Structure 1
């Protein structure tokens, strides 16, 4: 990364515009979530039937939806599964099921509706899963606990490895990343599935890892340049770690973009959420975590000065 060999950017001088950009993006995302009445939860969290149907002849989503509607099944999410660079006749059907409905009856109703339109031998249900609303609710609680627990353990780890102010700054940056990611999920109406939760947890780890690399260099430079202004030391650390940050993010994005372009419909939401997370995590490690550390340091220094005078 020779282009960044002598990097000397004043990142922290741009923190005020960065605050405005972050606030605007987060506000748009939260407004989308509020207008939609929350995020769209998948059958894993609400309970329902998940079927993979393979047709012997060319079929489209509209034909399947018309067949199911004629048979009395509505609200079905239909996704065409695609092989690399070509369409297939495989479809994924996600059917929400109410608490008073029998999942086996819903599954039989779907089969009968398809047989009425396409004939019995023209398709095959190659995979079928059912999930009760009770289990879905348990998945929701588990996912929320996993996210909260990751934050707490990270704060404890950073406070032990560095000091408390580093931990607080890192958590602020990660919360920032999560809010933007949830806003993206809402704006593009991406379904919250187990794969999406896995992507969110991956983003937390990725964002924190990038921030920790920067903070580790900050700690080293604070020891070497004790008389240097705090903000100058942080800028120096950001510039020194910039090649690593760009290289790591760039290679990760290449893989994720490949998954979005040539991957199937099942993996595409996972990869899309991760792309946003990587971009936002890289941005936040420079324009959120480090500025937050400066703000915390300045407040602590002012409180110490007031305490010394009194």
Structure 2
């Protein structure tokens, strides 16, 4: 593979990311912001055991009288259950009407249907936990990389991680994917995946620094990235194959989890190759203090 001049064209790589982020934020704002699910806003979850094959459109017809935007997914090993998630707090009269409709439509008993209310207080607590977990994850990454390498490596990595998280947030906003508890898992998964790629490149930079007397940082970073490029691409491709298969074959709830992971892996691979290394050079140039290492 021909060597890629990553550092030389850093303005192009930064501009691509900036253009995607600005355009995505504009579209997200036009779309009305993030589509917070009931895990964050509160609402009602309905789980019904149908006990046979059924058409989800029939369930949609029943629920659309109360909430046309309710999230309806199959559940169970044989897809004989259905889970309905609505942001509305259904009163007793509405619940009785839904029970009667399910009994009439699918010939089941009322004991096969369960309602669960999620209050807004729980949603607020989940928001705080999501933000706290993300902040703690980034602080932990910064401390680890600073201890293992130096603080400039750590800061470059965290900026690259913020880039990946923002890209995923934009996807949720543009595609109106419900932001539920799986959102936290998706974000933390990508943070861990992206930092792993960056650490591999930074480790190669550190090794190469030991083998040269006079350091040309531009050449050093370019050589290190190109030496690890095949590994980074192959790792990302094999991971993407598995997640794409989940997206194609999975139920809607799995698709809503898999799609952000696909975009996050692409963004994480891009940032680890084209963002983190050039950022380290910029920080090293701005802060020329000799590293303890």
Per the alignment, residue 223 of structure 2 pairs with 236
Structure 2's unaligned 5+ residue stretches are none
- 1:57 offset after TM fit, Å? 5.8
Distance in 1 between residues matched to 2:64 and 2:5, nearest whole Å: 59
2:55 aligned to which of 43, 53, 59:
59
SS of alignment partner, residue 13 of structure 1? coil
Distance in 2 between residues matched to 1:226 and 1:77, nearest whole Å: 64
- 1:268 offset after TM fit, Å? 1.3
Cα RMSD after superposing both structures? 2.6
Whether 1:74 and 2:62 are equivalent positions in the alignment is: no
Per the alignment, residue 297 of structure 1 pairs with 284
Distance in 2 between residues matched to 1:231 and 1:136, nearest whole Å: 47
Asked whether the equivalents of residues 76 and 93 of structure 1 are also in contact (C-alpha less than 8 Å), the reply is: no
Distance in 2 between residues matched to 1:256 and 1:149, nearest whole Å: 26
Asked whether the equivalents of residues 83 and 263 of structure 1 are also in contact (C-alpha less than 8 Å), the reply is: no
Distance in 2 between residues matched to 1:115 and 1:199, nearest whole Å: 37
Per the alignment, residue 307 of structure 1 pairs with none
2:151 aligned to which of 160, 164, 168:
164
2:86 aligned to which of 95, 106, 119:
95
Per the alignment, residue 110 of structure 1 pairs with 98
Asked whether the equivalents of residues 41 and 120 of structure 2 are also in contact (C-alpha less than 8 Å), the reply is: yes
Per the alignment, residue 145 of structure 1 pairs with 132
Asked whether the equivalents of residues 73 and 253 of structure 2 are also in contact (C-alpha less than 8 Å), the reply is: no
Moved more, 254-263 or 74-83: 74-83
TM-score (norm. length: structure 2): 0.89
In the comparison of the two structures, how many residue pairs are matched? Answer: 289
Asked whether the equivalents of residues 49 and 107 of structure 1 are also in contact (C-alpha less than 8 Å), the reply is: no
Structure 1's unaligned 5+ residue stretches are 305-310
TM-score (norm. length: structure 1): 0.84
Alignment of 1:1-310 (within 5 A): 4=1, 7-55=2-50, 56=52, 58-61=54-57, 63-70=58-65, 73-81=66-74, 90-98=81-89, 107-115=95-103, 118=105, 120-121=107-108, 125=112, 128-301=115-288
SS of alignment partner, residue 45 of structure 1? helix
- 1:68 offset after TM fit, Å? 3.2
- 1:148 offset after TM fit, Å? 0.8
- 1:105 offset after TM fit, Å? 6.0
- 1:246 offset after TM fit, Å? 1.2
C-alpha spacing 1:231/1:124, structure 2 compared with 1 (3 Å): farther
